[in-house]
Chain A
Amino acid sequence: MTSTYAPLDRVSRPSSSFANIRSKLSQQQDMNNVSSRERPKTPGPLARGPGAQGSGHDFAKIRVQADGQVPQVAGSWNGAVPNYQSGTPTAAPSALPPPAPTGTPAAAAPKVDKIDIVDSPTGAIAGYPPITSGNLNAPGPFNNPATGAVNNVHQIHFHLDSGSSAALTPARIVRGSNWLGGAELKHPQDQVLPPGVAGPPAPGGFSGVLDAPDGPGAHEIKRPSTDKIVVADAPGIGALSASQYPYVHKSTFTLTVMQAGGAPVAQIQYGVRIEKKSATDVPNTENRIFAISKLDMVRGRTLP
C-alpha cells in the first residue's frame, strides 16, 4: 500500500466569496435533479424473492425534482429520454471529443449497433484503476473473505457502427436498495417534502419511484477504440459484519450514451441482484446482472 498522507496544511478559512459560491451551487443543485419513473407495477422487492427478473417498471416516466417540486408526467416512452444531464454528477464523468478541425468534413454521427454486458473475464477490457471493493478489470461476482465485501463487477460495452466513441458521453441513473439483516437502505432515499408541502412524499429505493444520478465517474469510462465505449461498475457493499447478514442488493440501472449536445444515442437498462446469506455464502446465493432493454435511440429499434 503506497498511500501517502497529504493533509491540506496550506488550507485556510474560506474567503468572502462564499455567498457567490453558495448562490452558484444552489443553482447547480436545481440542475441536479433526482428523476423518477412510474411506480413499479409489481410488488416491492421483499415480496418478489431473489429470482425475480426485471425491475417491474416500464418506460413511462415521471420526474420528481430534488427540491420537492411537483412531478412532471412525461407520458409513455416514445423514443425520447429524460434529461439525464440534469442528473449527471457534478464531476464531468466522461471524456469529451476533441474539437473538429475547421475546414474538414463533419464527422459521422455516432450510432450504436450492439450493447454487451460483460460479467466475466471473457471479453473484458483492462486498464481500469484500483477501487476499494472489486476489480473493474475482472468482471464477475467479487467476494472479499477478509471484509465480507460482495460486489457485482461488470462492464457494459457499447459497439458503434458509425462515428467515434470519442463523441459519446455516458450517463447512468440508479434505483435500488440494500438490505442489511433485513433493514432496508434505499438509494435514493424517500423524498423529503419541504415544510408546508402536502404529502405523501415520493418513495425512494428499489420499489419506489425515484432515480438517483450515478455518474459514471470518469474512472469507470474507457474508449479502447473508436468503435467502442465501455462503462464499468461494481455495485454491492464494501464490508459486512456478522450482524449484517443476510445481505441483499436489488437495483435497476439505466445507462445512456449521448452526443456532446445531449442527444441520446443508445441506452441499456439492466438489473443487479446480490444475495449473500452468511460470510461463508461464497459463491453467493445470488450475484448476477441481467439486461432489461437495449435501445438504439438514433434508429428507433431494440438492440441485441
Chain B
Amino acid sequence: MENVTSTTGKHDLEQFQDSGDINSLLRFVRAEGKDQDKYKDAVGHLKLVFDAQMFGVRPIYENLDRVALRQCMAEVTDIVGWMASSDKADLKIRAIELIGFLGWEPFLPLLEQHLASEAKWERLTAISALGQIASARAVTILTAVTDHDPDPEIRTAAQRAIRSKE
C-alpha cells in the first residue's frame, strides 16, 4: 500500500474524494511528486466521466477512448483507485462502473475488496463489473459468490453476471 507523503497531498486527495474535483486531484499528484503531465493526460481522457459526475448523471462510458486510456494505464489505475476509495457513493460507483467498462484484469483485487463491503449496492455494482471482465478468475470469484454468499439477492446477481459471460 502506497502512503501519502505530505499533509498537503493528503488534504488534496481527501478533497478530490469528497467532491470529485479534478483540480484537487492534480494538486495531490503534484504534492506527491508524481508526473503531473501524465496524470493531466489521464484526467483528460476521463473528462466525460468527471463532467457527468459533476452534473449528477451517469457517464456514457462507451464514448471513452479505450486505446488512449490503455496508453496511460498506470495513471488511470491510480485515479480509479482513488475514486473507489471515496466515501461518496456516486464517486465510488463511477469507479466500479469504469472498472467494468475497462475490463482490465488487474482490477480484480480491487473488485474483491468491494465485494466484501457492507453496502449491498457496492457489492451489486462490483458483481456487475466482474461480469464484464473476460477472465477465468472473474468467473471463479463470481462462482464463489454464487455458492457462498448468504444474501439470495447477491447470489442471483452473481448468477446473472456469470450467465452474461456465456
Do A24 and B134 form a contact, CB below 8 Å, given A5-B85, A238-B20? yes
How many contacting A-B pairs (Cβ < 8 A)? 212
Do A188 and B60 form a contact, CB below 8 Å, given A7-B82, A92-B160, A98-B156? yes
B60: A residues at CB distance < 8 A = 34, 66, 188, 212-213
Q: Which of A35-43, A102-110, A193-201, A216-224 contacts B (4 or more CB under 8 A)?
A: A216-224
Asked if A29 CB lies within 8 Å of chain B CBs, one says yes
Do A218 and B124 form a contact, CB below 8 Å, given A96-B156, A99-B152, A235-B55? yes
Whole-angstrom distance between the alpha carbons of A6 and B129 in the complex?
19
A133 & B87 in contact (Cβ 8 Å cutoff): no
User: Which residues from chain B sit less than 8 Å from chain A, CB to CB?
Assistant: 1-4, 10, 13-14, 17-21, 51-58, 60-63, 66, 70, 73, 77-78, 80-82, 84-91, 93, 96-97, 100-101, 103-107, 109-110, 113, 119-122, 124-125, 127-129, 131-135, 152-153, 155-157, 160-161
User: Which residues from chain A sit less than 8 Å from chain B, CB to CB?
Assistant: 1-15, 17-18, 20-22, 24-25, 28-29, 32, 34, 66, 89-92, 94-99, 128-134, 147, 151, 166, 174, 176, 178, 185, 187-189, 212-215, 217-219, 221, 233-239, 249
Q: A14-B104, A215-B58, A218-B120 are in contact. List 9 more A-B contacts (CB 8 A).
A: A3-B17, A3-B85, A4-B85, A5-B4, A25-B132, A34-B60, A66-B62, A97-B156, A133-B19
**Main SS of the interface on chain A?**
loop
Which A residue's beta carbon lies closest to that of B17? A3
Whole-angstrom distance between the alpha carbons of A251 and B109 in the complex?
38
Which B residue's beta carbon lies closest to that of A176? B57
A11 & B77 in contact (Cβ 8 Å cutoff): yes
14 contacts between A and B (CB under 8 A): A10-B106, A21-B103, A25-B66, A32-B61, A89-B97, A91-B124, A91-B128, A94-B124, A99-B152, A189-B63, A217-B93, A236-B56, A237-B55, A238-B21
